[in-house]
Amino acid sequence: MRGGSHGGDGEDLGIAEQTLHNWIRADRDGRLGGAGSKPVSPEQMEIARLRAELARVKMERDIPGKSDGVLREGAGVKYAWIERNRKHWPVSVACAVLGVSSSGYHDHRVRQAWPRRGISNDALLVHIRAIHAETRGEYGWPRIWKELLARGIRAGKERVRKLMSLHGIRARGKRKFKAMTDSNHKLPVAPNLLDRQFKPTTPNAVWTSDITSEATDEGWLYLAVIINLFSRQVVGWSMQSHRRRELVIDALHMAWFRRHPPPGLICHSDSGSQYCSADFQKALTGYGMRSSMSRKGNCWDNAPTESLWGSLKVGRLHGKRFKTRRDAMDEIVDWLTFYNHRRLHSSLGYVSPMQFERAWFAAQNRQAA
């Protein structure tokens, strides 16, 4: 703010532009304390400085928890988050916390304001390759086209498809995976309450669960997940070196403590011994949930969870060798974060699970207002 125009300084500081100009004018006229007020003492100035510093520290503490996981993302994603939250967080503070420069953010805003007409194939290919690399080859042309649109890059879907085909850019192929179900037991099996009704109308009405495995040099790593079927968001998970009932119980506990759903929720799984166990059923009852199970040997009864495994295995784990279980766990946690926060889901209209759920809650709040 040293001379010249002050445009943008107020926004960077989290101060209304008109307020900033009023302060500058008052300081120039010798009336910063207001008409008829006493001059501001050094002690008052120090108190004001300390209050401002305390407010800044609080913002630096709060921003990471509300940044939707963008700390791990590239500069473009961070700039987009800062733009969406300009009214809530000063630009300079958000840039510092997210590790990007204020000048870079302002350059990004200028670029976004330019119309993206007539983008060349070479330029479009650069964006396509970048998205393909960011998603580690998980996206095919439909999701890459949607991601381009989300980034403000206008190109026809057929053009994107042909360009990717010409340059051999494609999603990883699908593979079959071994089922983890242990149905050879005499434990009671719950009825199929879900009955392939995979589109509940509210969050936390139906959860689904399943188990998969990943090989490491140390031995097998087993993963159990709990999915909120409404948004396809993974709300609970557990990873262990075994697949005993504790594996699925731990995943259920995580989901419960994160969501606290109302009584009556349907928790659907296969009829494996882990889910039929007395301990797991006791946990469901304690949480006020109803157990639902697929028919024996029918993976389509739990198709959304099977689809999740395919995305994880093909999109991230296929072709990798892990020396330790910890290495595999780190990779899986990273993918789960990407899946919840960023992966475009075709059944949700090509938005991520968290975006879909936030949009639903925002709509509910508008209706209630």
Q: What is the pLDDT of residues 330-364, one digit of tens each?
A: 999 999 999 999 888 878 888 899 999 999 998 88
- Spatial separation of the C-alpha atoms in residues 59 and 49, rounded to whole Å: 15
Burial 171-210 (b: 16+ CB within 10 A, else e): bbeeeeeebbbebeeeeebbebebeeebebeebbebbbbb
Starting at the edge strand found earlier in the chain, the sheet holding 219-228 runs: 233-240, 219-228, 206-216, 266-269, 290-293
Tell me whether residue 169 is exposed, middle or buried, using C-beta atoms within 10 angstroms of its C-beta: 0 to 12, 13 to 18, 19 or more: buried
Per-chain mean pLDDT for the chain: 80
C-alpha 224: how far from chain center: 19
Contact 207, 305 (CB under 8 A): no
The predicted model gives 224-235 an average pLDDT of 96
Q: pLDDT value at position 9?
A: 47
233-269 pLDDT per residue, tens: 999 999 999 999 999 999 999 999 999 999 999 999 9
pLDDT band at 90 (very low <50, low <70, confident <90, very high): confident
**Beta carbons within 8 Å of 303's beta carbon, 6+ residues apart:** 196, 198
Helix (H, G, I), strand (E, B), or coil: what is residue 269? strand
Tell me whether residue 28 is exposed, middle or buried, using C-beta atoms within 10 angstroms of its C-beta: 0 to 12, 13 to 18, 19 or more: exposed
Residue 31, pLDDT above cutoff 70: no
115-145 pLDDT per residue, tens: 445 688 877 887 888 787 777 777 888 888 8
193-225 pLDDT per residue, tens: 999 899 899 999 999 999 999 999 999 999 999
Residue with tokens 């913002």: 59
User: Taking the complete model, does pTM exceed 0.75, yes or no?
Assistant: no
How many residues comprise the chain? 369
